[in-house]
Amino acid sequence: SSVNPQTKAWQDISQKHHLAPFSDYKDLRPRIITKAKGVYLWDSEGQKILDGMAGLWCTALGYGREELVEAASRQMRELPFYNTFFKTAHPPVLELARTIAEITPGNLNHLFFTGGGSEGNDTMLRLVRHYWASKGMPEKQIIISRKNAYHGSTVAGASLGGMKPMHEQGGLPIPGIVHIAQPYWFAEGGDLDEETFGIQVADELEKKIQALGENKIAAFIAEPIQGAGGVIVPPASYWPRIREILAKYDILFVADEVICGFGRTGEWFGSDYYGNQPDLMTIAKGLTSGYVPMGGLVVSDKVYQQIKEVGDFNHGFTYSGHPVAAAVALENIRILREENIVETVKTQTAPYFQKRLRELCAHPLVGEVRGVGLLGAIELVKDKASRTRYPEAQAVGMMCREHCFNNGLVMRAVGDTMIIAPPLVISKTEVDELVEKATLCLDLTQKQLGA
Ligand code: PLP
């Protein structure tokens, strides 16, 4: 399709010079996003687009919050950078550490800051292995993760993740990381009812521990709800069984809260939603509403007490606890608290969003709609009853994603699963618009399939 000359010029630059993440390098001519406000984006063709993905699961407060801009510029004037390496710190990083400790569940009271979620998971891997070694158990090295999980793109992050196409590039995973099944009933549950399937998948954890030897297992990492894997909401039986198994063996529980954290489920953290009490938690994205990059690892009292005995942890990033990012995160959390946003998601927006989204179940192309809080997934199928998908080559998910973009809606496609995660501040009227547009795009996809 033809675009205006300015768009064309930007696309040419992109093709010549910009290697975008997870992109087809044969065609790097992107849609150019030029501005945003509230839950809407605008592109260089002047199209207004409802952002059903909150950027990349991160713009919790939506776009254009002046307070965050002010917090960043104030901090840039006062102290734009200083490191936290030389036995030095600054007020924003300290205030932020205390604030996060207040809102995280249980005894998660100690913060190691990073530039994003991937670095948070790398930090976790080194800290967990260091923890066991410091207890005189250096053989406890293996981290168990799950197939199809996404935990980032650094070497450790991508190894912890369970995405095959990522492992195939660069010789991953690194040693000492193994993957068990995901609780993805829709795709893998077969004839089992959801709860039986949940137990069966959770029991794989115990089988893996026994097969490898419990004295070798350092930690288990999982998202409360697997996000980039396809918003895989586990059956209710899953987490209680996992908790039982982790309690039985001496294994650390790591929650990757990069997507679920900061209100996405209607609780502060996905671990709160499921009543899980992890020993470590990685955070990013909603921490700053994505306005500036920042992530972190939250460490429990138990883990902290042990590593304190050893002293040094030889690890850190130039931008660990960056003052500008910390100032923005503090302001972001202040707004989330003062405007009661997490509670509003729980009591108002999420029930409405989940109800409206489930109306799409009636659509002939839809095999399942699921979700928690402001996370949603729509499974596209050829046959509802047997949960049969269209052949992969037809790329139905991407087809639907294109119809969405062309009609002013961002929905992400993970295979043939359409993903929705709007900003937490979305209104009910905007939810209505989202569902209307999604319905139109499902219709257009179906029409294109000739079904
Ligand atoms: N963990 C999860 C669950 C994620 O979804 C992501 C990013 O999408 C990451 C980790 C990696 O975070 P980042 O891209 O900030 O490094």
List, for residues 311-358, the tens digit of each pLDDT value.
899 999 999 999 999 999 999 999 999 999 999 999 999 999 999 999
CB of residue 152 inside a 6 A radius of ligand 1? yes
Tokens at residue 177, please?
A: 């990381």
Tokens of 171: 């010789």
User: Does the C-beta of 258 come closer than 6 Å to ligand 1?
Assistant: yes
C-beta 146 within 6 A of ligand 1: no
Q: Which ligand 1 atom is the nearest neighbour of the CA of 152?
A: 11
Between the CA of 445 and the centroid of ligand 1 the distance, in Å, is 29
C-alpha of residue 282 to centroid of ligand 1, in Å: 9
CB of 92 sitting under 6 A from ligand 1: no
How far does the centroid of ligand 1 lie from the alpha carbon of residue 121, in Å? 9
- Give every residue of the chain whose pLDDT is below 70, as ranges: 1
Please name the residue whose Cα sits nearest to atom 12 of ligand 1: 117
Q: 102: CA distance to ligand 1 center in Å?
A: 23
d(CA 373, CA 357): 12
Instruction: Determine the Cα–Cα distance for residues 321 and 326; give it in Å rounded to an integer.
Output: 6
Ligand 1 pocket, residue 150 CB under 6 Å: yes
> Ligand 1 within 6 A of 284 CB?
yes
Are the beta carbons of 281 and 297 closer than 8 angstroms? yes
Query: Which pLDDT score is estimated for 1?
Result: 62
The token pair at 374 is 């402001």
- Which protein residue's CA is at the shortest distance from atom 13 of ligand 1? 117
- For residue 116, the ligand 1 atom closest to its alpha carbon is 15
The Cα–Cα gap between 362 and 377 comes to 15
Nearest to 142 by CA among 122, 123, 163, 128: 128
Distance between the two ends of the chain, CA-based, in angstroms?
Answer: 25
Token pair of 110 as six digits = 């100690």
Which residue from 113, 151, 163, 292 has its CB within 8 A of the most atoms of ligand 1, so it is best to mutate? 151
In ligand 1, which atom is closest to the CA atom of 121? 10
Q: Which amino acid is at 332?
A: N
> What is the 3-state secondary structure of the chain?
CCCCHHHHHHHHHHHHHCCCCCCCCCCCCCCCEEEEEECEEEECCCCEEEECCHHHHCCCCCECCHHHHHHHHHHHHHCCCCCCCCCCCCHHHHHHHHHHHHHCCCCEEEEEEECCHHHHHHHHHHHHHHHHHHCCCCCCCEEEEECCCCCCCCHHHHHHCCCHHHHCCCCCCCCCEEEECCCCHHHHCCCCCHHHHHHHHHHHHHHHHHHHCHHHEEEEEECCCECCCCCECCCCCHHHHHHHHHHHCCCEEEEECCCCCCCCCCCCCHHHHHCCCCCEEEECHHHCCCCCCCEEEEEEHHHHHHHHHHCCCCCCCCCCCCHHHHHHHHHHHHHHHHCCHHHHHHHHHHHHHHHHHHHHHHCCCEEEEEEECCEEEEEECCECCCCECCCHHHCHHHHHHHHHHHCCEECEEECCEEEECCCCCCCHHHHHHHHHHHHHHHHHHHHHHCC
Is any ligand 1 atom within 6 A of the Cβ of residue 118? Answer: yes
Reported for 201-207, long-range contacts at CB under 8 A and 24+ positions apart, including other chains, are: 201/238, 202/237, 202/238, 202/239, 202/241, 202/242, 202/245, 203/241, 203/245, 204/180, 205/144, 205/180, 205/242, 205/245, 205/246, 206/245, 206/248
Q: CB of 257 closer than 6 A to ligand 1?
A: no
The residue with tokens 């996370």 is: 375
Testing ligand 1's pocket by substitution, the residue of 57, 59, 265, 285 carrying the most ligand atoms inside 8 A of its CB is: 285
- Pick the atom of ligand 1 nearest to 228's CA: 5
Strands 177-180 and 142-146: parallel
- Is residue 259 within 6 Å of ligand 1 at its C-beta? yes
Cβ–Cβ under 8 Å, residues 50 and 410: yes
Amino acid making up residue 252: L
CB 270 within 8 A of CB 264: yes
122 Cβ below 6 A of ligand 1: no
Which residue in the block uniquely carries the two structure tokens 């975008």?
20
Q: Set out the domains of the chain in order of their start, with CATH numbers.
A: 31-64+342-449 (3.90.1150.10), 66-338 (3.40.640.10)
Q: Would the CB of 151 count as within 6 Å of ligand 1? A: yes
Closest Cα to residue 147, out of 196, 204, 190? 204
CA of residue 46 to ligand 1 center, whole Å:
30
Q: Is the CB of 223 under 6 A from ligand 1?
A: yes
